[in-house]
Structures are given as C-alpha cells and as structure tokens.
A and B are shown apart, each in its own frame.
Chain A
Amino acid sequence: MLAVAFGVSFVTFFLMYLAPGEPAEMIAITRYGAENLTAEQVAVIRLAEGLDQPVYLQFGRWLGHVLQGDLGVSLISGEPVLTEILARFPATLQLAVAAMAVSLLIALPAGVIAALKQHSAVDYFTMTGALLGVSMPNFWLGLLLMLLFAVNLGWFPVSGYGGWRNIVLPAITLGTGIAAVTARLTRSSMLEVLAQDYMLTARAKGLGEGRIIAGHALKNALIPVVTMVGLQFGHLLEGAVVVETVFAWPGVGKLLVDAIFARDYALLQGCVLIFAGCFVLVNLVVDLIYVWLDPRIRYEKGG
C-alpha cells in the first residue's frame, strides 16, 4: 500500500518537472497577474519555494514533510493542501458513489437478463448498448447529455454543484462508461454459472426459476464482478477528473486539473496521493467482500 502511494507520487513529481514552462513564473502569474509581473517577484518565489534546487532534493523534502503528516501549503492560495482537498473531497465522493450506483443499477440487471435470454433480441440489444457505452468517451457523452437534457429540455442544470438535480448528469456520464464493462462481465459470469452442475441439482430439487437465479446463481456469478467493480473504482477517479471538469463539479478531480495548469506542485501531489490512497483502500474493501462471497478463500488460511 505504501509502495503504491510512493510510486505514484514519485512518477507524478517527475512528470510535472518535465512539463513545459517555468514553475516559478507560472505561479507568479497566478498570484500577481501577468501584467504587473516583475523578475524580482519570480525570483523571490523560486527561492522561497525551493524551486531552484535540484528536482530530487525537492522531492526528498516534500516526502520528508509527507511522512510527518504535512502535505504542505498550496503555492497559489496559501491554504494548507489538506484543508483544500478535504473541502473538495465530499463532492468527489458523492459523484463516485452516485456514478457507481448508476452503473450497478444498469449493469447487473442488464447482464443477468442478457445471460438468461442468451441469443435473444434482448441479449443482442444489451450487448450492443454495452459496446457503445465502452466506446464513448466520457467528455463527449457528457457534452451530449448536457446539450439534450440541460440546454434543450432544461430538465437539469447545465453544470455546477448544489441539489440532487446537479448530480444526475455527471453521475450518468461517469456511470454508463463503467456500466458497459460490468454488464458484459455479469453476462459472461452468469452464463458460466448457469452451465454448472449445481444448477441442475437446484432444478432437480424442484426450485422455481426465480429462486434458482437469486439464491443459487447470483452469488456465484457476482464473485468476478466484485473484483471488476473494485478495479473500476480507479477508473472512476480517473473519469472524475474529466467529468468534473466538463460539469464544473467542485471535486478533487477538478482541483487536480486546476493544480496542473497553475503548476501548484504541493496541491497536485496532495491530490494524487489522495487518489492513490482511495484506490488502495477500495482494493482492500474488495478483498474483504470477496472473502464474504467465496467461502473457499475464507478457510484456506485457517487450514
């Protein structure tokens, strides 16, 4: 877990260093505006933030602070990075949870029904829809939804943060992309389970079709799906960066993009670290759910 966080921070730090533009100058422009910028101001910033030092020293110093629990201060606003991120985090979490809910609500029923009616019109329709969902870029789908439902129909606000109406379009945009993958996996996993010997046993007992699916097939079929959904959470954070930008959603993703444009190293590193932490945490939760779903894993350790 620590290794993942360290690796991610390391890579972003050096990628940022390679990005064009002189950081001190960019920061100075953001702080004082481009018109009345003096070389002196730039020099002061460079010296104060240690930007004149070699990059590995900068990274080392940042790492030292992080290990003491100090994410530093934003180079632009002067606020502590942690405060800035925590202020934005609930919005991202809301969006992620809503998007995941949208995705599962679409994907699980679609996948199960497609499997039960294999080779039917419903199956082909669902899987074609899934293919479209995978292929469509988030920002483009977001813009299309915005155009139709916000601009033309006026059902939902175009962008911004506020009541439940605001979250609908971004959640759908973010959710459909990953729903497509989940639906396909649910279908194939369900098909595999339906062909198992224990399905014959369940049928021979005299169980009804509904109870066979809900009681015997679903839990087995969900095992691979849970892994997938966990991995998708990473995808969700990545998508949040795009979708939050498109919909002006004040989350960590938008903060991250703003930090990149302003060359706000401290804030950027903080955001990346939080994303990495979330990703690792979700994977841990997935492992726990996995153990609950599949008793074969539970008992291997106990011997």
Chain B
Amino acid sequence: MSLLQIRNLCTTFYTPGGLVRAVDGVSLDLVMGKTTGLIGETGCGKSVLGHSILRLLPANARIEGSIRFKGEELLCLPETKLRRLRGREMAFIPQSPATSLNPVLTIGRQLVETIRLHKRVSRQKAREAAAALLELLDLPAPEKRLAEYPHQLSGGMRQRVLAAMGVVGNPSLLIADEPTKGLDAIVRRQMAAVLRRLTAKTGAALLLITHDLRVVAGLCDDVAVMYAGEIIESGPARVVLTDPRHPYTRGLLGSLPAHGLKPIPGVSPSLIDLPAGCRFFHRCPDASPACGEVWPSLVKQPDRQVRCLLFAQGRESGKGVYGRDLQAAVV
C-alpha cells in the first residue's frame, strides 16, 4: 500500500482576475523508500501541489479531491491534528533558501526550535543534535554555523540547513520544493547526494519538485510530468526519461544541453482561462485538429501513463527518441 495517495486533487485560487486552477485533477501515489520526481516548467502547479499536501496554502485557496496519508484523509483533518503531522510525519523543504530562513534568528535557534518541537530534549542536547545533523550534511564548522545568521551563509549552506530542518523529525514523507534551484553545479550535486543519503537512511518517501531534469535522472525512481495543472506523463524515471511519449516530455528532454538546447516554442496557457482541448495543443509539434477540441484523459500503458490523443487512439510512437545514453548524459 502506498504511503500517500492523491486522488483527483484540484487546488483553486480565488483571485481578482478570476479562478486560477493551479492543480487540476492530479492523482499520484508515493511509496516508502521511493523517490518521485515532479517536473514541469515554472507556473505549472507543481509547487502548489506540494503545498496542498501539507495544506500550506493561503486563505484564498480551495482544495478538493482526496489526499490520504497512511490511510488518513488529510483534507478532513482539523488544523491542530494536521500541525502535529507537519515536520514529524510529513516534512517540507522549501524552495529559495535565500528567503526561507528567518533573517533575524540564528541558525541554531531555528534548528533547535524545530528539534525541540518534535523531541522532548533539553536545549543543550538539541543544540548538540543540530550540530551533528549539520555535520552529517557536510556543512563545515557546524558549531560556528549555529551561532550565525542566515545572511552569513552561502546559498548551498542555507539549503542544507533547510534540509536539516526538514529531516529532524524523521518524517516518513519528505517533500523537497526545488532544492537545487539557484545553486551552482557543484553544490547541486552535493545537495542531490545529501537528499539521497537522507532518504536511504530513514527509508522515507521523497517527493522531489523540480524543473531540473539532471536531478530527476540522478535521484528519482518514478517521475511525473506536470503541464498547466495536469499530469501529462508519469512512470518509472528510467522509462520516461529515456523513452518519452508525450510531445511535451519530449520537448523538455530536447531542451537539455546534451540534446541540442532546443526550446519548446510558445508559452503555457493561462491557468485562469484554460483551452477546451489538450492544454499543450498550441505548442505541440504533433498536434492534429482533433487535439484542439478533445480533452485527452490519462491513458494507462503497460509501463506508464500518458495524457495524449496520439496514444489514446491506440497508436504507439515506437522508438526511444534519445536512447539510453540520457542517464549517463544528465547525471
């Protein structure tokens, strides 16, 4: 049985401009010990999906559907009970390390507070645990870092502090929102190693929200590709990344440096005014007239799910486009 079961999740924001359908009918399963990558371009709703799981949404948002965690329906849980799950059972590593730590409190204070929230230990013990945790994450001179403020740390260090804060409660579900955003190549690789080590140690399920395909290829067992609020292709990472079916997934992989940096033309549709047919219709190189009118459903195939009329009609777009060398090229 899966740890987290998301069924037909819709997250809508009420804004002066209209209803924004940030997440529109998403179903996803997360399994203990497995890492699932959620990829897609900026604004496709992947971060909102992550926030929805913990119900960390502003007051103008509405969530519908079902999110079951260890069999318990999260969307019906009162706030006080949900708060007890946050950080302890389900942890969240936020994006943008530059602004996600409180600028006026020391690293130590922020870490110790988190530790003492989940374990009944003395301040001194918590501080020692915090230092040990930072050391585990390869942060140099952890004792010294605890006395420092966020602005004194580099981006990579801050990201690791946030990761440490995420795992202190030994959560069984870890959601990492763009943990490698804005980091340079070396730090990005270190961060990926940190996440791999953390999940291996605790056996937690990891939902990795990112638009960095290299990280997905290096870390994830499964992958789900989101576009304009919907999942358009999902399956084992090895299968989807080497043999993408959906034209959008193919476009994403084609935009990698190793495959010629070919951008996908056009922009994704507004989440307020969604088109009637396939949401990728206007940018799709393989679109037929029917694609503009018929909304494709997610079709189950032996090795994956894909939302595209090309496959709904029983057509198979045979060969792997980029071949097996992708794994090597991107890691």
Contact = CB atoms under 8 A, between A and B. Distances in A.
Interface of A: 196-198, 200-208, 215-216, 219-220, 223, 293-296, 299
Contacts, number: 73
A208 B96 CA distance: 23
Q: Which 10 A-B pairs have the closest CB atoms?
A: A206-B87, A204-B92, A206-B86, A197-B99, A295-B149, A197-B100, A198-B102, A205-B87, A201-B100, A219-B104
A264 to B, nearest CB: 49
Interface stretch (B70-78, B110-118, B131-139, B183-191): B110-118
Nearest to A202: B102
Nearest to A220: B104
Contacts of A299: 149, 151-152
Contacts of B105: 215-216, 219
A204 B149 contact: no
B31 interface: no
Contacts of A200: 51, 56, 94, 100
Report, as a range, how many residues of chain B touch the other chain.
Answer: 20 to 34
Contact of A205 (B103, B151, B165): B165
B99 A196 contact: yes
Given A198-B101, A219-B104, A295-B103, A206 B84 contact: yes
B101 to A, nearest CB: 6
B86 A204 contact: yes
12 contacts: A197-B96, A197-B100, A198-B101, A200-B94, A204-B86, A204-B94, A205-B86, A206-B169, A216-B102, A295-B104, A295-B106, A299-B151
Contacts of A220: 102-104
Interface string B155-189: 00000001001000100000000000000000000
Contacts of A206: 83-88, 117-118, 169
B86 A203 contact: yes
Given A203-B86, A296-B103, 9 more contacts: A201-B101, A202-B102, A206-B86, A206-B87, A206-B169, A207-B117, A215-B113, A295-B103, A296-B151
A228 to B, nearest CB: 18
Nearest to B152: A299
Contact of B94 (A201, A208, A215, A216): A201
